Amino acid sequence: MILRLSILFMVLCIASLTIGVQQLAWSDLLDGSKDAWLTLTASRIPRLIALILTGIGLSISGVILQHIVRNKFVEPATSGGLDAAKLGLLISLTMLPEANTSTKMIFAMLFCLAASLIFIAIINRIEFKNTVLIPVLGLMYGSVLSSIAEFYAYKNNILQSMQGWLLGDFSRVVQEHYELIYIILPVIILAYLYAHRFTVLGMGEEMSSSLGLGYASTAAIGLILVAITVSASVITVGTIPFVGLVIPNLVALKYGENLSRTLPIVALGGACLLILCDILGRLVIYPFEVPIGLTAGGVGGVMFLILILRGIK
């Protein structure tokens, strides 16, 4: 599976580098064309790197959240994390208009982390924990946070701008305007190092504690990793839903839930899905572009409904 996914990943990467409004021919690159090399190095390569890191980060965030909450249908988009990060970013823009990107990310990360803790506290108080009930509550919780964010934006007269730049879109990714996304790299490394612990975490608090795992500290580390990933992706490219839901579920259906073994497949799958959605968005109304927030939301939404129906059955 890893080999086939790796081949698909390479094919999609090559396609992503060549597809766009500005035609990029390999012959021009070999001939040393300055325009071709500028397009490749200033736009296509940064965009591809951002796609890969965002896809890997969001899919890993999804699988971590699913093990913490012990529910297959939870990810940042269905637990309020994305909406909370959006609210944190809006507040940073109005309270500290001169703040740099790192400060905005800290606001988004803190709001995302706080929202995740509140969501976990809510579901821990529910006695009847139906598999489908948890994500439905998460979507309702996210809708409340999204409404608060939109009201805040409306009150500060930035609603129209917010709807534009918070919709997932990689067309804005160019050299020197995307480097914050590299913060996802240490998150990926830490997720691999903690893969076995997150697997044990998914067995529940009693079982993991009996096996000698510090449940609270491991869950806290997982939530921090998720918050960093979500905040970095929201600030760099906007909100992209459902990536962290679809890929972990598809991988778990075939390969189980041992993250030490499946995390590389989840990471590659997330990168492939996001690159595929981006290519689809570039081709649907070529030479114009559909934001990836719409294509990923459409594909992920359909897959979410299918998985929900499978869960009901």
State the pLDDT confidence band at 122, using cuts at 50, 70 and 90. confident
Cα(249)–Cα(14) distance, rounded to whole angstroms? 27
Give residue 253's pLDDT.
Answer: 83
Tell me what pLDDT residue 291 has: 86
Q: 28-312: which CATH architecture?
A: Orthogonal Bundle (1.10)
Predicted local confidence at residue 225, as pLDDT: 93
Inter-residue contact 191 to 64 (CB < 8 Å): yes
Q: pLDDT at position 312, please? A: 45
Residues 6+ apart with CB under 8 A from 107: 88, 89, 91, 92
Asked whether residue 304 carries a pLDDT value surpassing 90, the answer given is no
Per-residue pLDDT tens digits for 26-48: 766 777 777 778 777 888 888 89
- pLDDT digits over 226-236, tens only? 999 999 988 88
The per-residue pLDDT for 246 is: 87
Torsion of Cα atoms, 35 then 283 then 264 then 177, to 10°: 40
The pLDDT assigned to 55 comes to 93
Each residue of 164-217: pLDDT tens digit? Answer: 667 777 877 777 677 888 999 999 999 999 999 999 888 888 888 888 888 888
Distances from the Cα of 22 to the Cαs of 28, 73, 125, 171, 275, in angstroms? 12, 39, 54, 12, 18
The pLDDT value recorded for residue 313 is: 47
- pLDDT at position 25, please? 67
Residue 311 pLDDT greater than 70, yes or no: no
Secondary structure, 3-state, the chain? CHHHHHHHHHHHHHHHHHCCCCCCCHHHHHCCCHHHHHHHHHHHHHHHHHHHHHHHHHHHHHHHHHHHHCCCCCCHHHCCHHHHHHHHHHHHHHHCCCCCHHHHHHHHHHHHHHHHHHHHHHHHCCCCCCCCHHHHHHHHHHHHHHHHHHHHHHHCCCHHHHHHHCECCCCCCCCCCCHHHHHHHHHHHHHHHCHHHHHHHCCCHHHHHHCCCCHHHHHHHHHHHHHHHHHHHHHHHCECCCHHHHHHHHHHHHHCCCHHHHHHHHHHHHHHHHHHHHHHHHHHCCCCCCCHHHHHHHHHHHHHHHHHHHHHC
- For the chain, the domains span 28-312
Residue-wise pLDDT tens digits, 92-110: 888 888 888 888 889 999 9
pLDDT tens digits, one per residue of 257-280 = 888 889 999 999 999 999 999 998
CA distance 132 to 192: 28
Q: What's the chain's average pLDDT?
A: 85
Within a 13 Å sphere around the CA of 109, how many CA atoms are in the beta-carbon half?
17
